[in-house]
Each structure stands twice: as structure tokens, then as C-alpha cells.
Amino acid sequence: MKRFLLLTVLSVFAISLAACSKTDDAKSIAIVTSAAGQNDNGYNESAVDGAKKIKDEFGVDYHVVDTTDVPGALEQLAESGYELIFSLEYNFDALVNGVGGAKSIAEKYPDTTFVVFNDNPNLNEDGTVKHENVISVVFDVHESSYLAGALSVSVLENASTLFDASTYSFADLDVDGRSIGFIGGVQSNGITVFSYGFVEGINRAAADLNVNYDYYTDYSAGFGDPVSGSTISNTMYQNGVNVVYSVAGVVGDGVASKANELDRLAIQVDANKDADQPGSILTSVLKNTEVPVYQITKAFIDEKIGDLDNALSYDLDSGATGMTDLAEIEKMVTASGMTKWNEIKTYIETLATEIADGTVTVTDAQSGETLDTTTLTNVTVK
């Protein structure tokens, strides 16, 4: 069934999950956040911003639930009468398949539309849709991560031209400094999709510049502890890594703080966090959940949600993913380095065009693709 793209708004009810019953016939939506919570300055907060925008424009109420019991929250919200529920946690089994012999939540509540993010678990093996009332939202973050990887190599290889020598303490590229790291909250399709694109972008720029890089990964960070990010990234930086990309909620704040302490670089994710540690964050890879929350809710308001596809993908042109405008890191570039800096930005824009026109295809873990490491001609995965 085709599901057309539009969304509606909600109003935040400061009530506990136990008291989340919907008490009137007015349209309202609910958001179940991921483990990082609604004040994560990124992925969850952006979704809530979409709900606020809908509320301001259309008067639709919204309720936000922070919980570790995602299936319980989904059932209680559906039972309470919410007709549109966004679930931001990577937790789909009870919703789509059912657990312990129980019916799936989607089957129990056929009049509720559930929206999940970062994967498409709602498909049978033959590719048919399991539940018409489940919408899967994926962001083409593999593409924006590709650009971030290419940017990382381009900046490191030209650091002496771009920056004053006293600004950063990069590990020597000719010793062990041609090293870049990635920290993920867990190892899942929703996280490796960033990593695969990132390392492919590293490989592209390294090949274009005829250099070789090492790629360090850690998928054990979780999403809620900045100290974890500081600890893991410190180990990477001590091993010669010069840029660390974190896709792990507020763990990334610890990575950015450590980058600032050691005069290295970090890459953040979800929202524009470049100014959180000015000069220490190379860029932020955006996953703007505000866009799909607004659009899908608008469709719900207009009673056109049944026209939407069951799988919605947001690419670089959608405004839901991409990189930041690099304005913060550009402040660190010296006057003599601006010519090279502009060349790098043009190079990144060219890569974005190649992705858009299909010249470059980036591995997409969200659609079940796996990374063929033999294609990484100029990168060694550690």
C-alpha cells in the first residue's frame, strides 16, 4: 500500500507513561524516545522539535515517553488511543514479529500507525510488507558519512596548509597519524550504516591523494555516558588517530571533549553540534528526525497517511541528512589556507554530486547491504 508523505503535530503532555491515556477525540501523536532521551541535543530532540512545529501550526497534541520498556510503552500508548506513534529506539521485534508466542503489537492494534527509524524490519523474506500500519523511516546517512570521511582525509592531508601550527597537535601522518576512528553505540544496521559510508569516503579521498589510512572501530560505547566516549576516544587518539567519528548519542560529547583536550578532531552526529567544542568538531553528520516527524504527522492530520509508502527514505536533497556548513571549523583556517580550504569544499561538493547522479554508490547497511572490504584499496580496517 502506497503511503504518501505528510505529517501532523502534537503537544507535550508532562505526564508519566502510566498516565498517558488520550482523553478526547482530538488528533494527537506520541513519541517513544531512544535510550539517550528527549534532551539529547540531537536525534530525539529533533523529533520532538518536529512535533512542536506541528502543534504550533495545527494544534495537534503530542506526548513524549522516555522509557527502557519500548514494547510496553507502545502497547500502552496504542491501548490509550494514540493513532500515530513514533518509536525512535532500535527495538522492533515485539512490534513487528511478536515475542514469546504473542501477537505482534502491530497486529494487536491495526488502527494505530507505528513509525520506526533506522531500519526496515517490516518485510517478509520475499520482500512483501508484513504490516500495513508500520512505516519504516531510513536516512541516507551512509551518503553524508561518505562525505565526512572524504573531508577527514582531505583536512588531515592539508592540515599544515589550513591551520596555524599551534592550533592542533595532530599525530605525525608519516608515523601513525594516517588513522581515523569510529565509535558506535552498538553494532547494528542503524549504526554500521554510518561506519560503512564513512570508511568508503575515507578510502575515496585516500585513493585520490595516493595515501593509505588505518581505520579503528569500537561498537561498545552505548548511548548514554559521555565518559565512555572520552575513554574510548582517548585510546584511539593515543594510538595516532587524528579524527574520531561518534554515532552514539551523548557519548559523542565525551569524544568531542577529549578531542578538544588533545587538540585533535571529532565528528558529531544527528544535530549541528559544531559549536559545542568550537574548532574541535570537524563537522556533524545530520540525521534530522524533525523532517519525517513533521511530514508523516501532516499526512496523519490530512487523513492521507494511508497514501505513504511503508518504507520512506530521506536522501541528501531532503534536508533530513547531510553535513553541516563547516562554518565553525572554517574559523580555524588561516588566511593563507583559504584557497586550499575552498578547493576541499569544492571536492566535497563534487562527491555529493557524484552520489546524487549515481556515479558513486555507497554501501547501505540499512537495506541489508554489507561492506566489501576488498574495495577498500587504501584503507586497512583494524
pLDDT digits (tens, 9 = 90+) for 286-311: 989 999 999 999 999 999 999 999 99
**Residue of higher predicted confidence among 83 and 39:** 83
Domain contains 34: yes
Domain at 102, CATH number: 3.40.50.2300
Please tell me the predicted confidence (pLDDT) of residue 10.
30
Query: Is there a single domain that holds both residue 244 and residue 105?
Result: no
Domain contains 305: no
Query: Is there a single domain that holds both residue 114 and residue 145?
Result: no
Query: Is there a single domain that holds both residue 145 and residue 134?
Result: no
Q: How far apart are CA 221 and CA 233, in angstroms?
A: 10
The answer, yes or no, to whether residue 18 has pLDDT greater than 80, is: no
**Average pLDDT for residues 192-210, to the nearest whole number?**
98
Query: Is there a single domain that holds both residue 113 and residue 163?
Result: no
Domain contains 369: yes
Please tell me the predicted confidence (pLDDT) of residue 35.
83
Q: How far apart are CA 134 and CA 146, in angstroms?
A: 29
Helix (H) / strand (E) element for 217: namely strand 213-218
**Average pLDDT for residues 54-76, to the nearest whole number?**
95
CB atoms under 10 Å from CB of 354, counted, come to 14
Domain that holds residue 38: 17-139+292-299
The answer, yes or no, to whether residue 108 has pLDDT greater than 80, is: yes
264 neighbors 237 (Cβ within 8 angstroms): yes
Query: Is there a single domain that holds both residue 148 and residue 128?
Result: no
CB atoms under 10 Å from CB of 303, counted, come to 11
CB atoms under 10 Å from CB of 370, counted, come to 10
Please tell me the predicted confidence (pLDDT) of residue 59.
93
Please state whether the predicted TM-score (pTM) of the whole model is above 0.85: no
Please tell me the predicted confidence (pLDDT) of residue 15.
32
Domain contains 338: yes
The answer, yes or no, to whether residue 210 has pLDDT greater than 50, is: yes
Grid cell 513514533 — which residue?
86
Query: Is there a single domain that holds both residue 243 and residue 370?
Result: yes
Domain contains 323: no
pLDDT tens for each residue of 29-54: 999 999 888 988 788 999 999 999 99
Domain boundary among 272, 299, 326: 299
**How much is the mean pLDDT over the chain?**
91
Grid cell 501523536 — which residue?
29
Query: Is there a single domain that holds both residue 195 and residue 341?
Result: yes
Number of domains composing the chain? 2
Query: Is there a single domain that holds both residue 88 and residue 159?
Result: no
Of 6-15, 216-225, 229-238, minimum mean pLDDT range: 6-15
Of 18-22, 98-102, 178-182, 369-373, minimum mean pLDDT range: 18-22
The answer, yes or no, to whether residue 22 has pLDDT greater than 90, is: no
The DSSP bridge partners found for residue 32 are 65, 87
142 neighbors 194 (Cβ within 8 angstroms): yes
- Can you say whether the dihedral through the CA atoms of 57, 58, 61, 63 is positive or negative? negative
DSSP 172: P
Q: How far apart are CA 167 and CA 332, in angstroms?
A: 8
Please tell me the predicted confidence (pLDDT) of residue 270.
87
What's the distance, CA 89 to chain centroid?
A: 12
Please tell me the predicted confidence (pLDDT) of residue 119.
87
Query: Is there a single domain that holds both residue 219 and residue 265?
Result: yes
Q: How far apart are CA 221 and CA 226, in angstroms?
A: 9
> Degrees (nearest 5) of the Cα angle 288, 162, 272?
15
- pLDDT band at residue 222, thresholds of 50, 70 and 90? very high
243 neighbors 265 (Cβ within 8 angstroms): yes
Domain contains 313: no
Query: Is there a single domain that holds both residue 71 and residue 120?
Result: yes
Please tell me the predicted confidence (pLDDT) of residue 37.
87
Domain contains 38: yes
Domain contains 6: no
**Average pLDDT for residues 159-165, to the nearest whole number?**
97
Domain boundary among 276, 299, 322: 299
Q: How far apart are CA 42 and CA 76, in angstroms?
A: 26
Domain boundary among 299, 326, 344: 299
**Average pLDDT for residues 241-265, to the nearest whole number?**
97
Q: How far apart are CA 254 and CA 277, in angstroms?
A: 11
- pLDDT band at residue 26, thresholds of 50, 70 and 90? low
Query: Is there a single domain that holds both residue 53 and residue 152?
Result: no
Query: Is there a single domain that holds both residue 245 and residue 348?
Result: yes
C-alpha cell at 87: 518509536
3-state secondary structure (DSSP) of residue 113: strand
